[in-house]
Amino acid sequence: MPANEKLKETISHLPHKPGIYKFFDEKGIIYVGKAVDIRKRVSSYFNRSAQHNKKTLKLVSQIKDIEFTIVDTEADAFLLENNLIKQYQPKYNILLKDGKTYPYICIVNERFPRVISTRNKINDGSRYFGPYPSGTTMHVVLDLIRTLYPLRTCTYNLSPENIAAGKFKVCLEYHIGNCKGPCEALVDETTYNHYISQIRSILSGNLTIAKNYFKEHMAAAAAEFQFELAHQYKQKLDMLEDFQVKSTVVSNTLTNIDVFTITSNEQCAFLNYLKVMNGSIILTQSLEIQKKLDEADEDILASVIVQLRQEFESTSREVITNIEVALPLDNITVTYPQIGDKRKLLNLSLKNAMYLRREREGRQEKNRELSDQREIRVLEIMKKDLRLTELPRHIECFDNSNFQGDNPVASMVCFKNGRPSKKDYRHFNIKTVVGPNDFESMYEIVTRRYRRLLDETQPLPQLIIIDGGKGQLSFAVKALKDLDIWGKVAIVGIAKRLEEIFYPGDNLPLYIDKKSESLRLIQRIRDEAHRFAITFHRSKRDAGTLKTELTDIKGIGPVISDQLLNKYRSVKKLRELTLEELTIEIGKAKATILYNYLHTSEKL
């Protein structure tokens, strides 16, 4: 069964149920999607009347097989799609960074718990906080905790039996005041666990308990005239206040909110995520996502919301966004505030997304400027190497192509500022020359090209390159003289064998240093002209063969053959069509004749 028949059969048996679908090529999964109705969504990819973009058409052309999974609800499909994209990383899905390498702060499940950093979560009863968007952010919080609270850092087994037996001795951390010495029972477990309780509150975004603790102890120490101790508590209180200010206090009335904003251009989307707890922004993350299939902003944002909430373990029930987005998740409210504190929070997030966009676009523009500078530098070298009177910003190169005199064609490629200008490329069918005559063919195409530019008052190039030796060059020069533009445009020829550069009227070639950047650019232009000519020649030759073969079929005339020729270009592509597809193109009677002929000849 042909591949397209197999796909049609598969699609016809897809269910009208919510779920996910997977597209496969020969190597594996290339796309994962979700749908409320799997059959309708998958069928839409193969609907010829749909206005798909080029990227989607390329995806569809590579589909060899389809699989699906039915789920109970749209929300289940939403989450399953996200998990499968992370698992398989299909090349046509937008891909987000996997959060498994993000750092956490861990309160280890042990007697006299340690507070450590880790990137691996283990189900051992320990308490994990985070993940944090970067190691730097995590260490700021961890350093604050270690400054505020004297915690142990050793890995000793501080069981009551080991401590009672005197197995351990205090270390340097005790002597410099960073640890209270639980290894020698110099601090009781209740006091130590009280520190841990406050640390949990701080890591959860609630600084009130810790601040009240330091305020009370500062006041008590001052009342007992222990001013040095009171000052120590005051310093720790100031650290907490400073940390809270740096965390950006939004409003005491806003708690447990996720804020997502998006802005995009044609190639990329730029997003920002703010996590708000207890009136403060405790986490912010900006990211850039490359578009794969010209995805809409709302689709990208929906995927990002699901993944970032999973990676940063958000339990917020309210999500604020700057665009309307369908988020089929239970117990989640999506809002689009227009005024008030929530709007200020939304504007802050959008400001971060816009900053990332401007920074990335500015960097791309700078790279383009640097590239322009490099190209101009190469053109300056070319001007010097070829002894030109002006900078060759506009270069055109000609090449001929024929096979034993059949289907003679030619090409002209255009480079502007050292880069291909493909909209200015031209193909030529040789009209006035009979037989394989490269010299006369070169005269014809150069004449036609520049007569047209003169007629249309278009600017002439600063340099013409002829792919060939002295013969082709001399006929190109004759064309310029007959057009009365000889001397107005520089012209050279390049011979392939030794990469010799020929000048009109000079029998001795110029040899440019093989390492010269200008020679590499000339070679690149020459090779592009050759490629363009060869491609055109092959397509014309194949088209002639196809047309001849089709018109030899009884019942298929020149009109039908031209119609199929313009669309499919080869017999191989016609053989891949089903009878139904051919019927749509040329009618049932002629489709049956052509289908039987193609598939009978295929077996011979």
In this structure, the chain runs to a length of 604
Yes or no: say if 205 and 283 are a contact pair by the CB < 8 Å rule. no
Q: H or E element: which one contains 457?
A: none
Residue 148's Cβ-count burial label (10 Å; 0-12, 13-18, 19+) is: buried
Q: What is the pTM of this model?
A: 0.52
Q: Give residue 602's pLDDT.
A: 46
158 phi, psi to nearest 5 deg? -90, 60
Q: H or E element: which one contains 261?
A: strand 257-264
Q: Give residue 250's pLDDT.
A: 56
470 phi, psi to nearest 5 deg? -65, -30
Paired tokens of 218:
């500062």
Yes or no: say if 334 and 303 are a contact pair by the CB < 8 Å rule. no
Residue with tokens 């520089």: 490
Q: Is residue 409 helix, strand or coil?
A: strand
Q: Give residue 425's pLDDT.
A: 92
Secondary structure, 3-state, 30-54: EEEEEECCHHHHHHHHCCCCCCCCH
Paired tokens of 301:
């944002």
137 phi, psi to nearest 5 deg? -60, -45
Which of 511, 532, 433 lies closest to 475, judged by CA? 433
Q: Give residue 112's pLDDT.
A: 93
**Angle, CA of 445, 449 and 454, to the nearest 5°:** 145
Which of 328, 284, 331 lies closest to 303, judged by CA? 328
CA torsion 415-420-421-424 (nearest 10°) is 70
d(CA 471, CA 208): 90
Q: Give residue 53's pLDDT.
A: 76
Cis peptide before 160 (omega within 30 of 0): no
DSSP label of 166? T
Which of 51, 56, 63 lies closest to 4, judged by CA? 63
Yes or no: say if 39 and 15 are a contact pair by the CB < 8 Å rule. yes
Yes or no: say if 305 and 285 are a contact pair by the CB < 8 Å rule. no
Count the neighbouring beta carbons within 10 Å of the beta carbon of residue 19. 24
Q: Is residue 492 helix, strand or coil?
A: strand
Burial code (b: 16+ CB inside 10 Å, e: under 16) for 108-147 equals bebebbebeeeeeeeeeebbebbbbbeeebbeebbebbee
d(CA 525, CA 492): 13
Yes or no: say if 272 and 286 are a contact pair by the CB < 8 Å rule. yes
Q: Give residue 604's pLDDT.
A: 34
Q: Give residue 546's pLDDT.
A: 47
Whole-angstrom CA distances from 59 to 45, 52, 53, 93 are 9, 10, 10, 11
Mean pLDDT for back-to-back runs of 10 residues, the chain (604 residues): 68 86 88 88 81 81 87 79 81 69 84 89 83 74 83 90 90 90 91 89 76 84 85 81 60 79 90 82 82 85 87 86 85 88 86 87 82 86 90 92 62 91 87 79 92 92 90 92 92 83 86 85 90 72 52 73 70 78 83 80 42
Count the neighbouring beta carbons within 10 Å of the beta carbon of residue 433. 18
Q: Give residue 478's pLDDT.
A: 93
Instruction: State the sign of the Cα–Cα–Cα–Cα dihedral 341, 345, 350, 355.
Output: positive
Which of 87, 78, 91, 90 lies closest to 20, judged by CA? 78
**Angle, CA of 460, 464 and 465, to the nearest 5°:** 160
